[in-house]
Structure 1
Amino acid sequence: MVVTAGACLAGCATYHAHPLPEQAASASSLSQLRGYDATMAPLSADAVERLVLLNNPDLRSARARHQAAQAQRQQDSVLPNPVIGGSIGYLLSGPGDATAWTASITQDITSLITLKPRREAARATADEVDASLLWEEWQTIGKARLLVIDLVEGQRQLDLQQRALDLLAKRESRITQAIGAGNVDRVTVASDLSAAADARTAMHDLQRRQLDQQQQLAALLGLKPGVAVPLATPLAPSDLDAASIREQAEGISRRRPDLVALQLGYRAQEATLRAAVLAQFPPLSIGYDASQDNSRVRNGGPAVSFALPIFDRNQGNVAIAKATREQLHQEYTVRMATSRDEVDALLDQYAQLQRQRQALLPAQDDATRAAAQAMRAWQDGLVDMRAYVDLEVAALTRQAALVATDQAMLEQQAAVELLVGRGMPTSLEQDVIAP
């Protein structure tokens, strides 16, 4: 008995304190990031995505769920322990001449009956957590991809807006000097002054948006807000094959981790329901009892105990399991339908952007030619600065509109590829129960 007890204690876990840190801080430079190599700068979109996967604080926290799920899976897969009981009755009075004792060992049969479905449920639940984590990683990659697009294309717009603002500010300065000298009436040049003010406001808006996106990217990488992330330019132009996307959308239920997670959750609930149905039978324990009374008469034999299913037939747990399964069934069905609808909607929006871009190209080319001619005319003294600046700013505005359209197309491409899981390997190789 002592040896058995010692062996059991030897397999027990021990407690070790793990105090929380008193201070914590984000990385203050790119060199502190895991996986960063100085030769990588400036960073491509792929490099940024890799660094995000390795360093994102939220993903590091989320990965702890994997360990918790595996521990729960291990616990739910353990066989129930047999129960040993006993008692001693010392002789206090009477004709007896010995100490009475009883001993028993029993095993819960109901837990053995439900063990297989409970193990299946635990395994599917652990896999569901992993699939959900993969989807969270994929969404984080998508955020990083969109931020790279917005930052690179946003910088192009900033450069164009800065050129326009320089021209308008130069004209504004000359107009202000002329007004001060009394050579120009302020009313006649009010629109020119307003154009410069509007360009300055637009510049400030772009700068604020650029800073916000830079800080968002730094946060995704686990960096302090002020750390600049150099990005490689230019980005490859958008190239979205609608036919290929629709073909990939056909297998979305096996490629998208969130849909795989729902399927695994449904599988776990199916197993939970089976376990609940099996558990509605009377709780049954089988074992062996032995005893001795005070006159040394000994008895021994099998023992059976079970509960009478008069009030509790596990009907509540069965109903809960059925309702939960139906809820998951509906959620999966709706998610599948909306996912396909979202793909179709994004492809329609991308096609619209393509048409708009084609329509912008001739106007942009015409405005660029007109601006070049106006510059030569202004240098030759044939037109005044006001007309030249108007045409030059108009050309820059056309270019900015084209850049904005290119940015929107890149964003739509990234969104639709994220939606269908393009570039992601099949999330689950084995057969999955699809409701």
Structure 2
Amino acid sequence: MILSARHIARCFLLCGAAALAGCASYEHLALDKEPRLVANASELEGGGGKPIRLATLDRLVVLNNPDLWAARAKLGLGVAQVIQAGILPNPQADVTYPFVIAGPGVMQNVRAILLLDTKRDAAQNAASQIYATLLWQEWQTIGKARLLFVDIISGERTRMLISQSHKFLQERFDLTNRAMNQGNATLSALSPDLIALSDLENASNNLERLQLSRRQQLNALLGLAPGAKLALAASPDLPRIDSSAIRRQLATLADRRPDLVALQYGYRSEDAKVREAILSQFPNLSVGVASVGTSNSINSLTFGPHVTMDLPIFDRNQGGVALERATREQLYREFNARISAATGEIGALLSEQSLLSRQLADLEPRLKEARLIAEKTAAAFAQGTLDERSYVDIEVARLTREREKIGLQQAILEGQVGLATLVGAGMPQIEIEPDLPPAGRLGGPRTPL
């Protein structure tokens, strides 16, 4: 085919102008330096004005946690990678002037076409991995909020018991102190009361600091200012934990827990990269059309096929194949280690729950006995047949057992929160897609998960 050089030059100019017209334009995005902490719980997205129950807290955390907001930006990165992986490289065009020996030509890399499916497969699985990793971060953040919720409520119950014990001990200390000033008691009688009162005040101060820290941490998870008041319900409504069901479902845990799902998508992505590295052993072949110029009076060009190919004598991508295979082996072992650790953690928490439940059951009759004795003591003290010191001792002993029960209940609830986080009870759910062989995969891009 013979074309004039003038026509060829015009064609290249038009193609160049069209390519420039389709380019993206730059827009400056200034950093926002203002903190975005909410001053009032009622202003939280999803509503936080009334006493918050655990199920409501889960929703508030997902909607308002600043770290989750930042992490969700990675979803756009995954989508962009899928788009990029599905785009072929542009053909290469070259032109020289004057067209005496060689004229314009267009070349397309064949290997890029062969690698298109594997690149897209790797990018799609990497995007799904990002989504699953974000969901695992949501699970962990919800778990932290639940744990703080349980600890704050248990701490408030403990604080009330400490306050009651302090009241009794303070009354006894004041009585003994008056007796000593009147010469009816010695310093040795006052000393135990002073030590017990001091220990209780120290425990109260420590708990107050701990409660403040817990509330500030919970505020931070919700994007609230440190001093914002957050009203919590009086009891946690944790999802029911069925130990037998959890043990039965351990076999399918890898298909449901986001961190394990993310590792599987990461492994699939790396497996696609192994295939890509193997296919990259295909010689770098470019085909197209090229032209040869003439020096006759019409200044014309003659077009014909043109092929260039690398000779795979030294570099057959041995290094690339070895690197991707080693990376895949690392991910294989990392997944096995993670699922083994997950199974072990769940088993350990289930055993701990059994122990704590047994200890709580053993405490119940002793606490019941202490309550009955305290009731009789209170009646005797009101009738004047029992001295105040004995009455206070028995009441403080009862309150100590009450605090012991709260401690066991708190430990049980903390374990239930841990189990719920590990198995996903009440959490946003995910299921991994079936892993199809390379020939059965769809060619087009997909939305992650």
2:444 equivalent in structure 1: none
- Which of 420, 425, 437 pairs up with 1:422? 425
Asked whether the equivalents of residues 135 and 428 of structure 2 are also in contact (C-alpha less than 8 Å), the reply is no
Residue 139 (1) aligns with residue 140 (2): yes
Q: Give 3-state SS (helix, strand or coil) of 1:17's partner.
A: coil
* Deviates most, 408-417 or 294-303: 294-303
CA distance in 2, matches of 1:127, 1:176: 71
Match of 2:391, SS state, is helix
1:398–1:284 distance in 2 versus 1, CA, 3 Å:
same
Residues 238 and 417, structure 2, Cα contact 8 Å, conserved in 1 = no
CA–CA distance in structure 2, aligned partners of residues 31 and 6 of structure 1: 55
One-letter identity of the residue aligned with 2:154:
E
- The answer to whether residue 88 in structure 2 is matched with residue 87 in structure 1 is no
Q: Distance in 2 between matches of 1:150 and 1:219?
A: 16
2:84 equivalent in structure 1: 75
In structure 1, C-alpha distance between the alignment counterparts of 2:322 and 2:351, rounded to whole Å: 44
Q: Deviations over 1:107-133 (max 9, x none)?
A: 011111111101000000001000000
2: CA distance, partners of 1:136 / 1:265 = 16
* Map of 2:30 onto structure 1: 19
Kindly report which structure 2 residues correspond to 1:399-418, keeping only aligned pairs within 5 A, or say none. Answer: 399-418=402-421
1:386 aligns with 2:389: yes
Which of 384, 397, 401 lines up with 1:398 in the alignment? 401
Instruction: After TM superposition, give the deviation of residue 178 of structure 1 in Å.
Output: 2.7
Corresponding residue number in structure 2 for 1:211: 212
Give the distance between the partners of 1:396 and 1:351, measured in 2 at CA: 25
Distance 2:96 2:127 in 1: 42
- 2:269 equivalent to 1:255: no
Give the % identical residues. 39
Cα separation, 2, equivalents of 1:101 and 1:322: 44
Q: Tell me, yes or no, if the aligned pair for 2:103 and 2:301 is still in contact at 8 Å.
A: no
- The CA deviation string for residues 191-226 of structure 1, in whole angstroms up to 9 with x for no partner, is 122111111111111111111111110000001111
CA distance in 2, matches of 1:239, 1:187: 52
Partner of 1:164: 165
Give the alignment of 1:223-262 within 5 angstroms: 223-236=224-237, 239-262=240-263
Distance in 2 (alpha carbons) for counterparts of 1:22 and 1:334: 41
Partner Cα distance (1:196, 1:211) in 2? 23
TM-score using structure 1 length: 0.93
What is residue 313 of structure 2 aligned with on the other side?
310
Aligned to 2:275: 274
Q: Deviations over 1:262-295 (max 9, x none)?
A: 0000000000010011112221111111021334
Q: 1:236 to 1:387 in 2, by over 3 A?
A: farther
| More off after superposition, 12-21 vs 261-270 | 12-21
CA–CA distance in structure 2, aligned partners of residues 145 and 167 of structure 1: 34
Aligned residue number for residue 326 of structure 1: 329
Decide whether the 8 Å contact of 1:108 with 1:286 is kept in 2.
Answer: yes
* Aligned 8 A contact 1:242 1:347 in 2: yes
Cα distance per residue 1:337-357 (max 9 Å; x no partner)? 111111111110000011001
- State how far apart, in whole Å, the 1-side matches of 2:280 and 2:426 are: 44
User: How far does residue 86 in structure 1 lie from its aligned partner after superposition?
Assistant: 0.7
**More displaced, 23-32 or 404-413?**
23-32
1:46 matched to 2:59? The reply is: no
**Which secondary structure does the structure 1 equivalent of 2:29 belong to?**
coil
Report the Cα distance in structure 2 between the residues aligned to 1:42 and 1:418, rounded to whole angstroms: 23
Answer yes or no: is 1:35 the counterpart of 2:36.
no
Partners of 1:402 and 1:239 in 2: CA distance: 20
Any idea what SS the aligned residue of 1:195 has?
Answer: helix
Please give the secondary structure, in 1, of the residue aligned with 2:95. Answer: strand
Instruction: State the distance in 2 between where 1:237 and 1:55 align.
Output: 21
Preserved CA contact (<8 Å) 1:276 1:318: yes
Shift of residue 9, structure 1, vs aligned partner: 2.9
Distance 2:425 2:244 in 1: 13
Inter-partner Cα distance in structure 2 for 1:408 and 1:255: 26
Mapped contact 1:264–1:432 kept (Cα < 8 A): no
| Counterpart secondary structure, 1:250 | helix
241-250 or 287-296, which moves further after superposition?
Answer: 287-296
Alignment length (residue pairs): 424
Indicate the larger mover: 167-176 or 356-365: 167-176
Deviation at 1:103, TM superposition (A): 0.9
Q: Give the superposition deviation at 1:100.
A: 5.9
Q: What secondary structure does 2:264 align onto?
A: helix
SS of the residue 1:422 aligns to = coil
Q: Which whole-Å CA distance do the structure 2 matches of 1:391 and 1:68 have between them?
A: 65
Please say which of residues 175-184 and 425-434 is displaced more in the overlay.
Answer: 425-434
| Match in the other structure for 2:69 | 60
Matched, 1:354 2:357: yes
1:302 deviation in Å?
A: 1.1
TM-score, scaled to structure 2: 0.90
